[in-house]
Structure 1
Amino acid sequence: MAEQNEKPLLKLKPATYKGIAMFECEIDDIEKMETREDDIWVCSFPRSGTTLMQEITYLVQTLDFETARSVQLDSRFPQLEQKNDQFPYYKGVKYVEDMTSPRFIKCHLHHFMLPVQLQKGKGRIIYIVRNPKDIATSFYRLLRWGGHLKPEEFGAFVESFVNGTGLFCPWPRHVLEFWERRNDKNVLFLQYEHVVKDKAKCIRRVADFLGRTLTDGDVAKICDYCSVENMKNNPMCNMSYWREYTKVFDDDGGFINQGKAGAWKDLLTPEMAKKLEKLTDALKGSGLTLLDE
């Protein structure tokens, strides 16, 4: 514990690009980068079940459990817009450009900020959406874990999420940009609540999208590997390696929390929940209906 207290906090420099609040990144290089037809992108608003979908996607495509057990997810499936020399895997665009095909890429950017070639269909996108009430609680816990928020700032964080000034907001715009492209042949649109309710069905949908043929045994093995209990205890995807480089605060969970729908009920006040429901109201008329749990 004493050693952990001596670690520096993760330094992330805030920035605003095209009206979207995020952390400083290589946005110009991202928009201009070359994509590949066999790229596999997992895109989402932060804390929408991204880590789960990355691991499912990686295993559906490769069935390489040995590598999944021995190589960090951040190395196998890097986050494009994250570049931070304080950490070993956040190397930005150049690292992704040098990857061998098929590349697995994670990204939280709005659709209009993705590489232009990807926007036009060069590369495959798996997008996962989640109820904003669970996102708000999970995102707060992540920022709390990394030392970017204090418990007394939770209310202000929720307000910024609701009014669209928070990180990667506005959430409705992020979701609808991808939802409007759900019928594109290179896009698979998934809902977190459906994924955790029937993981096997999700795995088969991902396999169909990627042109992979899996046996029932393969599906069962991926389901087991990607259970929340296994992922929480898996150092290759639970981001426990962060402790080597930064101070973290484990008093309110870790990188992977409950891994279920409806966890917002443990943290949100009725007033907060009502405010967050305004975000789902913004989806009315789109045809997209989200579950609370």
Structure 2
Amino acid sequence: MADIKEETDEKPDFQLKRVAYKGVAMFECEIDEIEKMETREDDIWVCSFSRSGTTMTQELTYLVQTLDFETANRVYLDDRFPILEVKDDRFPYYRGVTFAEQMKSPRMIKSHLHHSMLPVQLQKGKGRIIYIARNPKDIATSFYRLMKWTGGLNESDNTFEKFVDAFVNGTGHNCPWPRHVLEFWERRNDKNVLFLKYEEVVRDKPKAVRRIADFLGRTLTDDDVAKICDYCSVDKMKNNPMCNMSYWRDYKKVYDNADGGFINQGKAGAWKSLLTPEIAKKIEKLLDEIQGSGLTFDDE
């Protein structure tokens, strides 16, 4: 995968600041406030390791809960379903804990934090969690493409080989991946946790919608399910400014010519046409680390 050099606009070029907390590389945030924040019984949290199908899961969840397509069509997903652990005044939708605390119930909140870093009350069951997991081979390609598009790479991961090395050795953003997925997998039978696999969701989206509806106690008609699945098709989401992050172009330089973007192919197994056998084998080590847990991923 080619590296990027060329610019696409004259907006300022900046990165979200990276920090390490409890051995995890992450963006600078209010982690101390997050861990002690009050949660609510009717909270709905969509959690994931980055690039695991989070945006799709958020939009599916929002529509299952509200059936409010009109609002979905006019209000940014980052406003309806904000990420908690990114706070940066240079972006209008990265507002951190205070904004989440002021949201009306039922709140819908996104997080890429490990389970052990979530609010303690949420960890103990106060609030509902929908977790989406994905084959790490697809995560690696999708995550690198996103970071190229946003100009978020630095000297430690500015080639795909370096990026994969950091992903595999546990020093990359949100890593280590095995620890992330296993923390949630071990809670999969908790009554407040729904554990989804990306590959299963995209294979049978109507079934996934019904699982989310059952988890949230919502009753949907077959027509409701069909409308939600159509709205959340990859082609529509890719061209939907309410969820494709195109607003980033208003605030910072992005690299549209960099073979990357926020929403890419939206399918399982895209890695097969993108990874060399050597790199695929290297990422296999992450799957080896979860062997024996019962968690497996299809190599579609």
Please state which band the TM-score falls in when normalised by the shorter chain.
Answer: over 0.9
1:10 to partner: Cα distance: 3.5
Relative distance call for 1:249 and 1:195 in structure 2 (3 A) is: same
Aligned pair partner of 1:156 in 118, 138, 162? 162
- TM-score, normalised to structure 2, is 0.95
Structure-1 separation of matches of 2:264 and 2:251: 21
1:267 to partner: Cα distance: 1.9
Aligned pair partner of 1:205 in 208, 211, 227? 211
Structure-2 separation of matches of 1:3 and 1:174: 34
Structure-2 separation of matches of 1:165 and 1:82: 19
Aligned to 1:133: 137
RMSD of aligned Cα (Å): 1.4
Aligned to 2:3: none
1:253 to partner: Cα distance: 2.8
1:259 aligns with 2:263: no
Structure-2 separation of matches of 1:221 and 1:9: 39
1:23 aligns with 2:23: no
Number of aligned residue pairs: 292
The share of aligned pairs that are identical, in percent, is: 76
Q: Which runs of 5+ in 2 are unaligned?
A: 1-5
SS of residue paired to 2:45: strand
Relative distance call for 1:284 and 1:86 in structure 2 (3 A) is: same
Q: Contact between 1:74 and 1:89, CA under 8 Å: does it hold in 2?
A: yes
1:196 to partner: Cα distance: 0.2
Aligned to 1:273: 280
Q: Contact between 2:30 and 2:85, CA under 8 Å: does it hold in 1?
A: yes
1:122 aligns with 2:129: no
Provide Cα deviations, 1:143-165, integer angstroms capped at 9, x if missing partner. 00001238961100000000111
Aligned to 1:98: 102
1:80 aligns with 2:84: yes
Provide Cα deviations, 1:42-97, integer angstroms capped at 9, x if missing partner. 00000000000000000000000000000000000000001011111100000000
Structure-2 separation of matches of 1:10 and 1:269: 31
Structure-1 separation of matches of 2:82 and 2:46: 10
SS of residue paired to 1:193: helix
- TM-score, normalised to structure 1, is 0.97
1:285 to partner: Cα distance: 0.7
Aligned to 1:247: 253
Structure-1 separation of matches of 2:190 and 2:14: 38
Structure-2 separation of matches of 1:66 and 1:227: 17
AA in 2 matched with 1:257:
N
SS of residue paired to 2:254: coil
Aligned to 2:189: 183
AA in 2 matched with 1:80:
L
